[in-house]
Amino acid sequence: MTPIRHAAVVFLFLTTAPAQSILGFTPTSAAREAAVESKFKSVPTPDEERRQHRIFTAEPHIAGSKRNNELAEYIRDEWKKQGLEDVIIRRYDVYGTNPRSVSLEMIAPTHYQAVLREAPLDPDPDSKSSAISNAWFGMSISGEVTAPVVYAHGGNPEDYDLLRQNGISVKGKIVLVRNANPYSYRGFKALTAQREGAAAILIYSDPAEDGYKKGNVDPDGPWGPEYKIQRGSITYDFMVPGDPQTPGWASIPGAKRIPIEQAVSAPKIMALPLSWHDAKPLLENMNGDGPVAPENWQGGLPFQYHLGGERVKVHLKIEMDNGTQPYYVVEGRIRGSELPDEWVVLGNHRDAWVFGGVDPSSGTASMMELTRALGQLAKEGMRPRRTIVVCSWDGEEVALIGSTEWGEQFADDLRAKAVAYINVDEATSGPNFHGQAVASLAPMLEETTRTLDDPSGKNLYEAWRARVESDAKTGHQSGQFNDSGAANQTLSDTHLGSGSDYTVFLNFVGMPVLGLQFDGDYGVYHSAYDDFYWMNHFGDPAYKYHTLMSQLWGVTALRLANADLLPFDFATYASNVRQFVRELASTNKSVILSEVRAPRSEARTQSKDPVPTCTTCNPSGSFHQAFVSDSGAAQVSKSPTQLDLSQVEKQIDAFESAGKKLNESLRAKLASGPIDPKLALTLNHGMMQVERNWLNPDGIPGRPWFKHILYGARFTYAHLELPGLTEAVEAQDWSTAKQQAEILERALEKNTNLLNELNSTLNP
Ligand SMILES: [Zn+2]
pLDDT digits (tens, 9 = 90+) for 421-440: 999 999 999 999 999 999 99
Q: How far is the CA of 349 from the centre of ligand 1 (A)?
A: 7
Whether 488 has a pLDDT exceeding 90, the answer reads no
Residue 486 confidence (pLDDT) above 50: no
Q: What is the pLDDT of residue 420?
A: 98
Please determine, for residue 211, whether its predicted confidence score (pLDDT) is greater than 80: yes
What is the whole-number distance in angstroms between the Cα of residue 519 and the centre of ligand 1? 13
What's the average model confidence in pLDDT over 747-751?
A: 98
Give yes or no for a contact between 436 and 426, defined as CB atoms under 8 angstroms apart.
no
The CA 353 to ligand 1 mean position distance, Å, reads 9
SS (H, E, C) 505-549: HHHHHCCCEEEEEEECCCCCCCCCCCCHHHHHHHHCCCCHHHHHH
Q: Is the dihedral of CA 217, 220, 222, 227 positive or negative?
A: positive
pLDDT exceeds cutoff 70 at 368: yes
Predicted confidence at residue 475, as pLDDT, reads: 67
Distance from the Cα of residue 426 to its chain's centroid: 10
pLDDT at position 590 is 86
pLDDT at 392 over 90: yes
* Portion of the chain with pLDDT greater than 70, in percent: 90
Residue 328: pLDDT over 70: yes
Q: Which of 571-585, 619-633, 722-736 has the lowest mean pLDDT?
A: 619-633
* pLDDT for the residue 472: 82
Residue 374's φ and ψ, nearest 5 degrees, are: -60, -45
All residues at 6 or more sequence positions from 518 whose CB lies less than 8 Å from its CB, including other chains: 427, 428, 429, 430, 431, 432, 433, 434, 540, 545, 548, 549
Span from the CA of 422 to the centroid of ligand 1 (angstroms): 14
Q: Taking the model in full, what pTM does it have?
A: 0.92
* Mean pLDDT, range 725-732, rounded to an integer: 94
In contact, 72 and 391? CB cutoff 8 Å: no
d(CA 543, ligand 1 centre) in Å: 19
DSSP alpha helix (H) spans, 246-390:
276-284, 361-379
544: Cα within 13 Å, side-chain hemisphere: 14
What distance in angstroms lies between residue 74's CA and the mean position of ligand 1's atoms? 20
Question: Which of 155-164, 274-283, 491-500, 683-692 bottoms out in mean pLDDT, i.e. has the lowest?
Answer: 491-500
Tell me the CA–centroid distance for residue 429 and ligand 1, in Å.
12
* Residue 18, pLDDT above cutoff 60: no
State the pLDDT confidence band at 473, using cuts at 50, 70 and 90.
confident
The answer on pLDDT for 305 being more than 90 is: yes
* Distance of CA 394 from the midpoint of ligand 1 (Å): 10
What span, in angstroms and rounded, lies between the C-alpha atoms of 233 and 677?
Answer: 48
In the prediction, which pLDDT does 639 show?
53
Average pLDDT over residues 246-251: 98
Q: pLDDT band for position 497 (50/70/90)?
A: confident
Question: Rounded CA gap, 547 and 267, in Å?
Answer: 39
Residue 610 has pLDDT above 50, yes or no: no
Distance from the alpha carbon of residue 397 to the mean position of ligand 1, in angstroms:
6
How does DSSP classify residue 504?
I
- Ligand 1 mean position, distance from CA 342 (Å): 27
Q: What is the pLDDT of residue 673?
A: 93
| Residue 485 in this model has a pLDDT that exceeds 50 | no
Mean pLDDT of 651-679: 97
Confidence class for position 487, pLDDT limits 50, 70, 90: very low
The rounded percent of the chain whose pLDDT value lies above 90 is 85
DSSP E strands, 293-334: 308-321, 325-334
Which amino acid appears at position 214 of this protein?
A: K
Q: So what's the pLDDT on residue 476? A: 59
Please tell me the predicted confidence (pLDDT) of residue 589: 84
Q: Break the chain down into helix, strand, coil percent, rounded to 5.
A: 40, 20, 40
Which amino acid appears at position 38 of this protein?
S
> Which residues hold their Cβ within 5 A of ligand 1, which is an ion?
359-360, 425
At 597 the pLDDT is 47
- If pLDDT is split at 50, 70 and 90, which confidence band does 594 have? confident
Q: What pLDDT shows up at residue 758?
A: 98
| pLDDT of residue 604 exceeding 60 | no
Q: DSSP 3-state assignment of 311?
A: strand
Residue 591 identity? V
Q: If you average pLDDT over residues 384-394, what whole number do you get?
A: 98
CA of 664 to the centre of ligand 1 (A): 39
How does residue 618 score in pLDDT terms, banded at 50, 70 and 90?
very low
- 360 C-alpha to ligand 1 centroid (Å): 5
- pLDDT, residue 517, reads 98
The pLDDT score that the predictor gives to residue 599 is 39
CA 351 to ligand 1 centroid distance, Å: 8
Q: How far is the CA of 356 from the centre of ligand 1 (A)?
A: 8
CA of 710 to the centre of ligand 1 (A): 24
Q: How far is the CA of 27 from the centre of ligand 1 (A)?
A: 39
The pLDDT, as a whole number, for residue 621 is 38
Q: How far apart are CA 373 and CA 367, in angstroms?
A: 10
Looking at residue 595, its pLDDT comes to: 65
- Band the pLDDT of 725: cuts 50, 70, 90: very high
**Cβ contact 222:534 at 8 Å:** yes
Q: Distance, CA 278 to ligand 1 centroid (Å)? A: 25
Given this model, what pLDDT does residue 612 score?
A: 35
Residue 304 has pLDDT above 80, yes or no: yes
Is residue 764 predicted with pLDDT exceeding 70? yes
pLDDT at position 620: 40
